[in-house]
Amino acid sequence: MTKDGAKKRIEKLREQIENLRYRYHVLDDPKVTDEVYDSLTRELKKLETEFPEFIDLNSPTNRVGGKPLDKFVKVAHQVPMLSLNDAFNKEELRAWEKRVLKFIPVDDAGGFHIEYFCELKMDGLAVSLIYENGNFVKGATRGDGFIGEDITQNLRTIESIPLKLRSKLDYLEVRGEAIMSKKTLNKLNRVQEKLEKPLFANTRNAAAGSLRQLDPLLTAKRELDFFAYDIVRKTQDGKEGTPLTHSGEHSLLRQLGFKVDKHEEVCKNLGEAEKFIKETEGIRKTLDYGTDGVVISLNNQTLYEQVGVVGKAPRYMIAYKYPAEKATTTVKDVIFNVGRTGVLTPVAIFEPTLVAGSTVSKATLHNMDQINKLKLKIGDTVVIQKAGDVIPEVVEVLPKLRSGNEIAIKIPVHCPVCGGGVGKRSIGEKSSSQSTAYYCTNSKCPAKNRRGMQHFVNIFEIYTIGPKILDRLKDEGLISDAADIFTLQKSDIDGLERFGEKSAENIINSINAHRKISLARFIYALGILHVGEQTAEDLARHFGAINKLMNASLDKINSIENIGPVVAKSVYNFFHAKESLNYIKKLKTNGVEILREAKKVAGKFKGITFVLTGGLESISRDEAKANIKRLGGSISESVSKKTDYLVVGSEPGSKLPKAEKLGVKILNEKEFLSMSSR
């Protein structure tokens, strides 16, 4: 290709990719397919490598470009990032209105001409974005409102933030909220759980933690989103040329290519604003992002100067906060659960209490450090919170309510499951993130083994064996470890009480269908302390074969990128314990086959969303879901316009008529199986 031709093609590709990104990430238009986007991006990347003279920092190929930082650089905000005063009820809103009206002149008839603008208060992190000549040049956190931190590299990874504005402007400073969706939080927490790492309590903490990563690659993986809500400067030295109303400003933000939340309303009076509050409170649970209230401002921005700022908060705006989802209860007991890797996790048992629409009777306390931080005792009255819509947590102890009969929480001397010894160790690679963990030292502890076996069968995708069946097989003495599963015969189990011939057959079929496994999955399935999915992949990629990993020196494991000393030691110890070697040998003897190459995911279902309804005959629902995922597709719980296929089994529910109404394609079990057969 000629240089000139390349230049033109590059420009065209950038424009097209940018348009697709805008439609997908800003307008939420599901019609855009990943394949087209990926393929155009690949072509653009190739041309940019061949013709480096046309490289552009803000090319769509360049979102995750920068190197990890040592620390964040401080930046001073030219316009301070203020905070908002809160109102918790109608009276406080009325009192706010009264304060505001004092600064607004009355018209000839003795009345006020005011309009309110209502929008949702997003529960994320305030950030400021600066554009020069239409290009995104700098982004910062709020910090103390005057000085924040430069997190440009991380913000560039957020796909809904435009790297270039849709219309040219010399200068622009925009404020908005960086958030993590509830869906992404759940996904992230599932990974944290598997790694036995602390869960993120809510979308805000998770978004904040993700933006604080020094390595933009890590931030990119967290799939953050951004909603713009304010233009603070439209010229280097002021707001010249900005719309006169806040609603107009939102329209301008949309025109410039920003994602602005659609829930907004211009209200003629506070009564209308209260209606907006009520309506949004009703739908907030259905939104995929966290909201904690409504921001109400004077719509007429020309009044802002005269209404003014009090302290650090503008008087012309207020945050109405939805009632907090907190409750008090008493701690009846603290028990210790033994995890797959033997770590003892304290769990508080409460007097059952209703919070945010569901009854909460227990909550993890994560570790002893957390108990010490809370100064918690058994018998204490505590404030609990249902954060991030799912995970309840203890946020505070109310010591004034103590009777004197509270009991200090003691670390068990013996494992609560097997009575084995309890050891202590530090977890976390860096001193700043270190905490103390207690663990059962007995390698044969059945709790470890029980969870470990469930983990093992899940990773092997033997979904027909759930916890109850696993317990049953153990109780009957049919298996003592996961390797024994591969020796089971139909005749071993179909005679057992409550095991029909059909279910026995399903179990055996599923075991036989999953004897082959990639090296990475095999390593992950072993349940080695500190070895999660990612580390297992790193190890598999590096060593290529299980024998090489088993014979590797500690130094060698230590030298692998992304693997720190604590993890390396754990891996080394595992492969140097006699039990582990016997176990691996037994797995192989019993017919487990480790594939050298990781199974390639055929992206046949990429970008396609399935919903399942009714019972399937020949495979379990979990297996059907796993098949969809393996082929790159996604699964949704409910039918919407975004659903591509509804898979219908016996006795389908209300999803079927809904899908028919929306024109979603319907597959019966047979059609689905032939579509997903490899």
Instruction: Enumerate the active-site residues.
Output: 121
To ligand IVH, the closest distance from the beta carbon of 82 in angstroms equals 4
Element of type H or E holding 661: helix 655-662
Q: Is 229 in the site for ligand IVH (CB under 6 A)?
A: yes
Q: Is 253 in the site for ligand IVH (CB under 6 A)?
A: no
CB closer to ligand IVH, 293 vs 339: 293
CA distance 508 to 354: 43
To ligand IVH, the closest distance from the beta carbon of 100 in angstroms equals 14
Which one of 65-73, 81-89, 339-347, 399-407 is the stretch in contact with ligand IVH (CB under 6 A)? 81-89
Q: Is 122 in the site for ligand IVH (CB under 6 A)?
A: yes
* Residue-wise burial string across 354-365, b where 16 or more C-beta atoms lie within 10 A, e elsewhere: ebbeeebebbbb
With H, G, I as helix, E, B as strand and everything else as coil, classify residue 124. Answer: coil
To ligand IVH, the closest distance from the beta carbon of 429 in angstroms equals 31
Q: Is 225 in the site for ligand IVH (CB under 6 A)?
A: no
CB closer to ligand IVH, 85 vs 634: 85
Residue 110 one-letter amino acid:
G
With H, G, I as helix, E, B as strand and everything else as coil, classify residue 469. Answer: helix
Which one of 58-66, 119-127, 427-435, 601-609 is the stretch in contact with ligand IVH (CB under 6 A)? 119-127
Give the list of residues 6+ apart from residue 569 with CB closer than 8 angstroms, or none.
Answer: 554
Give the list of residues 6+ apart from residue 370 with CB closer than 8 angstroms, or none.
Answer: 346
Which one of 3-11, 120-128, 402-410, 491-499 is the stretch in contact with ligand IVH (CB under 6 A)? 120-128
CB closer to ligand IVH, 229 vs 456: 229
Residue with tokens 């083994």: 449
Helix axes 90-101, 270-283, angle to 10 degrees: 140
CB closer to ligand IVH, 239 vs 556: 239
- Determine the residue with CB nearest ligand IVH: 126
Q: Is 149 in the site for ligand IVH (CB under 6 A)?
A: no
Which one of 76-84, 182-190, 236-244, 585-593 is the stretch in contact with ligand IVH (CB under 6 A)? 76-84
CB closer to ligand IVH, 249 vs 380: 249
What's the Cα-to-Cα distance from 574 to each of 440, 528, 577, rounded to whole Å? Answer: 15, 7, 5
Q: What is the sign, positive or negative, of the torsion defined by CA atoms of 288, 289, 295, 297?
A: negative
CA distance 333 to 398: 16
Q: Is 296 in the site for ligand IVH (CB under 6 A)?
A: no
CA distance 362 to 391: 10
> CB of 581 within 8 A of CB of 575?
yes
Q: Is 126 in the site for ligand IVH (CB under 6 A)?
A: yes
CB closer to ligand IVH, 314 vs 392: 314
Pairing of strands 645-648, 609-613: parallel
CB closer to ligand IVH, 122 vs 520: 122
* Residue-wise burial string across 485-518, b where 16 or more C-beta atoms lie within 10 A, e elsewhere: bbebeeebbbeeeebeeeebebbbebbeebeebb
CB closer to ligand IVH, 314 vs 452: 314
Which one of 82-90, 339-347, 448-456, 633-641 is the stretch in contact with ligand IVH (CB under 6 A)? 82-90
Count CB-CB contacts under 10 A for residue 621. 15
CB closer to ligand IVH, 128 vs 157: 128
- DSSP letter at 603? G
Q: Is 656 in the site for ligand IVH (CB under 6 A)?
A: no
To ligand IVH, the closest distance from the beta carbon of 131 in angstroms equals 19
How big is the site for ligand IVH, counted in residues (CB under 6 A)? 15
Using CB under 6 A, which of 18, 97, 149, 177 touches ligand IVH? 177
To ligand IVH, the closest distance from the beta carbon of 532 in angstroms equals 32
To ligand IVH, the closest distance from the beta carbon of 175 in angstroms equals 7
Using CB under 6 A, which of 21, 25, 121, 259 touches ligand IVH? 121
Which one of 5-13, 79-87, 217-225, 428-436 is the stretch in contact with ligand IVH (CB under 6 A)? 79-87
To ligand IVH, the closest distance from the beta carbon of 235 in angstroms equals 20
CB closer to ligand IVH, 119 vs 380: 119
Give the list of residues 6+ apart from residue 19 with CB closer than 8 angstroms, or none.
Answer: none
C-alpha closest to that of 609 among 635, 587, 629, 631:
635
Q: Is 174 in the site for ligand IVH (CB under 6 A)?
A: no
C-alpha closest to that of 210 among 176, 177, 179:
179
Residue 632 one-letter amino acid:
G
To ligand IVH, the closest distance from the beta carbon of 261 in angstroms equals 7
> CB of 520 within 8 A of CB of 459?
no
DSSP per position, 506-554 = HHHHHHHHT-EEEHHHHHHHTT-TT--HHHHHHHHHHH-SHHHHHH--H
Q: Is 295 in the site for ligand IVH (CB under 6 A)?
A: yes
> CB of 220 within 8 A of CB of 157?
yes
Residue 306 one-letter amino acid:
Q
Which one of 1-9, 117-125, 525-533, 618-626 is the stretch in contact with ligand IVH (CB under 6 A)? 117-125
Using CB under 6 A, which of 13, 84, 158, 608 touches ligand IVH? 84
Q: Is 319 in the site for ligand IVH (CB under 6 A)?
A: yes
Using CB under 6 A, list all residues that contact ligand IVH.
82-84, 119, 121-122, 126, 142, 177, 229-230, 295, 314, 317, 319
